[in-house]
């Protein structure tokens, strides 16, 4: 009887081990991003799965396709593949905005001659709305040569509160050559200084330089600011000028810049 009992225990253990055994069924390697075997769907540069579809250019109706095999088209229909130049959805979510903002006025500031600190109003900018904003939906803010972001901590009590997770870094290159976000390089403002060095242009570690003979502040060529916005999009900015035209103040504070805003993908174009 004891032997039978032991055999039953062993059989129970084997059954339990078999029930816990990992399913080794191989995952098909020919699935497209729509999980269709040998399907036509493709990931675009924004990380969006795009499907093929049939488009009727008379009625403007469309039918999404899991498979393009044996597709028969009516006389007014056409087959649009995911990466076709005729597909308006391909990479559509990547580049949201390309623009230039001229003479954003952040000139309402003063410099303390004793310690060189700035005081005055910060002007907040939102990439999505392409405009100056007053609320908490800001991405980047300017005051004189100081540039802060809506993420991290304030380094001065007169700065606006950080309410989001924005971040930034300075990349070397051009607007055309900086095509990917280096997420590991993104920094946030902290209690000691902004993520973009606020050096008044003296050290060359920030976005500008200061000419001690002409007293002109100039953007450093080849310095591109790369942002994660307050709403988790990505943007890049090239500052072109620090003064208005004609010049109304030798102290500047008028930012002209090019920018590109993308969706959640780290491809900047």
DSSP string, 128-166: TTTEEESSS--SEEEETTEEEESBB--SSTTSPPP-SB-
Structure tokens at 22: 């990992």
Residue pair 268/234 in contact by the 8 Å Cβ criterion = yes
With a cut of 70, say whether residue 18 has pLDDT above it. no
Task: Identify the CA nearest to 219 among candidates 228, 206, 232, 203.
Answer: 206
With a cut of 80, say whether residue 256 has pLDDT above it. yes
* pTM for this predicted structure: 0.70
Place of tokens 């055999």: 7
Note the pLDDT of residue 27. Answer: 56
Using alpha carbons, list the distances in angstroms from residue 21 to 6, 13, 24, 222: 23, 12, 9, 57
Which range among 31-45, 55-69, 106-120, 232-246 has the greatest average pLDDT?
Answer: 232-246
Note the pLDDT of residue 162. Answer: 96
With a cut of 50, say whether residue 6 has pLDDT above it. no
CA 168 to chain centre: 10
171-202 tens-digit pLDDT: 999 999 999 999 999 999 999 999 999 888 88
100-146 tens-digit pLDDT: 999 999 999 877 777 667 778 999 999 999 999 999 999 999 999 99
Note the pLDDT of residue 42. Answer: 94
Note the pLDDT of residue 118. Answer: 72
């Amino acid at each position: 009887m004891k032997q039978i009992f032991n055999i039953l225990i062993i059989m129970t253990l084997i059954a339990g081990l078999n029930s816990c055994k990992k399913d080794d069924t191989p995952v098909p390697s020919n699935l497209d991003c729509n999980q269709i075997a040998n399907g036509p769907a493709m990931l675009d540069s924004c990380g969006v799965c795009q499907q093929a579809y049939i488009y009727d250019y008379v009625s403007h109706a469309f039918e999404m396709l899991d498979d393009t095999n044996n597709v028969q088209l009516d006389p007014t229909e056409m087959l649009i593949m995911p990466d076709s130049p005729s597909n308006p959805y391909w990479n559509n979510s990547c580049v949201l905005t390309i623009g230039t903002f001229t003479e954003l006025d952040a000139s309402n500031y003063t410099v303390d001659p004793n310690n060189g600190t700035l005081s005055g109003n910060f002007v907040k900018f939102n990439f999505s709305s392409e405009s100056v904003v007053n609320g908490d939906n800001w991405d980047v803010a300017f005051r004189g040569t100081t540039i802060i972001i809506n993420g991290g901590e304030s380094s001065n009590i007169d700065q606006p509160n950080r309410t989001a997770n924005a971040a930034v870094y300075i990349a070397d290159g051009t607007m055309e050559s900086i095509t990917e976000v280096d997420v590991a390089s993104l920094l946030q403002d902290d209690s000691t200084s902004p993520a973009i060095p606020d050096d008044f242009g003296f050290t060359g570690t920030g976005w500008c330089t200061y000419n001690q003979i002409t007293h002109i502040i100039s953007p450093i060529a080849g310095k591109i600011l790369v942002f994660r916005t307050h709403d988790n999009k990505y943007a890049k900015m090239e500052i072109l000028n620090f003064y208005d035209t004609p010049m109304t103040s030798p102290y500047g504070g008028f930012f002209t810049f090019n920018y590109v805003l993308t969706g959640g993908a780290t491809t900047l174009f």
